[in-house]
């Protein structure tokens, strides 16, 4: 063993090494709970979206339509768009899943889930979103929503996961980002034209559901 290797091992406290088992436990709980789900669609969007916002209403409508078509709806389990999607699926009698992240502010499990898990680790939770989804539907949101969007685009672009529909709802919100991708990223050859086909922008829940229904699981 090299001197530097021994030094690194010495720096790992017993508490730090036990964290490995907490991580493993979250993976085990997630897989055991979610492995029997029906085909699932994961819905993302802002936790700060209020019930009187048009996107809240659209997310609830979308989730209700999906539930009636036999799809499970997965969200991050919190308020805003997540609550709307869980509510729509729950009230339609479908499987409504909340994968909540434990945070010191803003996030608490909404009351519209019939399957729910709490996670301490973002990366474990993100694996569950990807592993059990056959499509992502992404409503307007902030940094967390952008993180999920670009991670899914990266995994599909690099062939790390099987391609699935990534659907962005709201051209008025996403339009500026799409323009920047075309006018800056594409023109400066940071991406290629085929990368822009990984996702689709729609303006109605019905259009999103049709894309999902036409996707082979």
pLDDT in tens, 99-143: 999 877 656 889 999 999 999 999 999 999 999 999 999 999 999
Find where tokens 């529909």 sit.
165
CATH of the domain at 137: 3.40.50.450
Q: What is the pTM of this model?
A: 0.89
The Cα–Cα gap between 17 and 49 comes to 39
What does the mean pLDDT of the chain come to? 92
In a domain, residue 46? The reply is yes
Structure confidence at residue 18 (pLDDT): 82
pLDDT the model gives residue 106: 56
Nearest-angstrom CA–CA distance, 146 and 124? 17
**Closest by Cα among 178, 140, 37 to 94:** 37
Q: Give the per-residue pLDDT at 12.
A: 56
| Residue 32 belongs to a domain | no
Q: Report the number of distinct structural domains present in the chain.
A: 1
Report if residue 22 sits inside a domain.
no
User: What pLDDT does residue 26 have?
Assistant: 95
């Amino acid at each position: 063993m090299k001197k530097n290797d021994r030094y690194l091992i010495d720096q790992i406290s017993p508490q730090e090494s036990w964290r490995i088992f907490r991580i493993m436990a979250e993976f085990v709980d997630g897989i055991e709970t979610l492995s029997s789900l029906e085909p699932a669609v994961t819905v993302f969007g802002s936790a700060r979206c209020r019930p009187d916002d048009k996107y809240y209403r659209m997310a609830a409508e979308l989730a209700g339509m999906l539930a009636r078509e036999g799809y499970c709806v997965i969200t991050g389990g919190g308020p805003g768009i997540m609550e709307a999607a869980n509510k729509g699926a729950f009230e339609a009698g479908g499987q409504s899943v909340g994968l909540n992240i434990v945070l010191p502010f803003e996030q608490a499990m909404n009351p519209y889930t019939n399957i729910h898990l709490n996670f301490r680790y973002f990366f474990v939770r993100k694996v569950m979103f990807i592993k059990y989804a056959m499509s992502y539907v992404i409503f307007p949101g902030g940094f967390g929503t952008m993180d999920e969007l670009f991670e899914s685009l990266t995994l599909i672009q690099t062939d790390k996961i099987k391609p699935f529909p990534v659907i962005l709802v709201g051209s008025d919100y996403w339009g500026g980002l799409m323009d920047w991708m075309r006018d800056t990223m594409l023109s400066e050859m940071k991406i290629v034209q085929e990368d822009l086909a990984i996702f689709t922008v729609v303006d109605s829940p019905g259009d999103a559901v049709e894309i999902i229904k036409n996707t082979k699981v």
